[in-house]
Amino acid sequence: MHVKSAEFVKSATRPEHYPPAEVPEIAFAGRSNVGKSSLINVLVNRKGLVRTSSTPGRTQLINFFQVNNDLMLVDLPGYGFARVPAEVRKQWGPMVETYLSTRSCLGCVVLILDIRRVPSDEDVLMLQWLRAYAIPAVVVVTKCDKLSKNERARQAATISRTLGLSREEMVFFSALSREGKDLLWGRIEHFLAAGDGEPLSGGGDLGH
Ligand SMILES: Nc1nc2c(ncn2[C@@H]2O[C@H](COP(=O)(O)OP(=O)(O)OP(=O)(O)O)[C@@H](O)[C@H]2O)c(=O)[nH]1
Ligand SMILES: [Mg+2]
């Protein structure tokens, strides 16, 4: 993908405030602080387009970023962070679920995991939920720079087992080294070209 321009369009919590559904959208989901915003910045080659923070729960709105004239990247608020105010936590589910289940121009969801963690129940549920709605998903394992080669292989095996996905189905990524950037764009473009995606194979630990 040749990114010629990338700009913030708007923030929204409810469908009335989403931008018009005119171009395909790629949404980025994952637990709080996993590195969603950093990953989007790497994809568009812009250090500060999306605000990042070492404080979890930074992104609490749905943020829309237009890339070139024909694509929207959508930064979703992260889940699983206990210390955000109860009121915000209560709104998270409906806000994100409404977006994912109703957005007609949604092309695929990039689900982001931390290489250092065993996927949480919420991660597994999110993947199952995407499958249930037949939303194409790309699983990205990020912060790969933080582990040694051996630790990385071990964690990759754990994550792969927990989600029921092969390693080849996942994209290993680092916002620091930019590893995985081209592969991820390739997967995204594949879904955009297909119009609808091939479902991921795995069932995950909570699978039915
Ligand atoms: N070493 C390393 N640090 C990363 C990477 N990606 C993100 N980080 C750091 O992780 C922290 C969280 O990154 P964000 O991109 O803000 O995470 P987020 O998922 O958008 O977080 P919320 O919006 O709070 O849900 C920041 O301190 C980033 O610098 C990575 O690939 N490698
Ligand atoms: Mg963020």
What does the pLDDT profile of the chain (208 residues) look like in tens digits? 889 999 999 999 999 999 999 999 999 999 988 999 999 999 999 888 877 766 665 567 899 999 998 999 999 988 876 666 676 667 777 888 999 999 999 999 999 999 999 999 989 989 998 999 999 999 999 999 999 999 999 999 999 999 999 999 999 999 999 999 999 999 999 988 876 545 555 545 543 3
In whole angstroms, what separates CA 2 from the centre of its chain?
Answer: 20
Q: 35 alpha carbon to ligand 1 midpoint, in Å?
A: 3
Q: 18 alpha carbon to ligand 1 midpoint, in Å?
A: 25
Verify whether ligand 1 is closer than 6 Å to residue 29 (CB atom): no
Domains and CATH numbers, the chain: 6-194 (3.40.50.300)
CA-CA distance, 98 to 87, in Å (whole number)?
17
- Of 33, 43, 81, 115, the one to substitute when testing ligand 1's pocket (max ligand atoms within 8 A of C-beta) is 33
CA-CA distance, 191 to 185, in Å (whole number)?
10
Residue 202, pLDDT score: 52
Helix boundaries (H) for the chain: 36-43, 86-102, 121-132, 149-163, 181-194
CB-hemisphere CA count at 13 Å for 153?
2
Using CA positions, which residue lies closest to atom 10 of ligand 1? 35
- Pick the ligand that lies closest to the CA of residue 32: 1
Q: 83 alpha carbon to ligand 1 midpoint, in Å?
A: 17
Residue 207, pLDDT score: 39
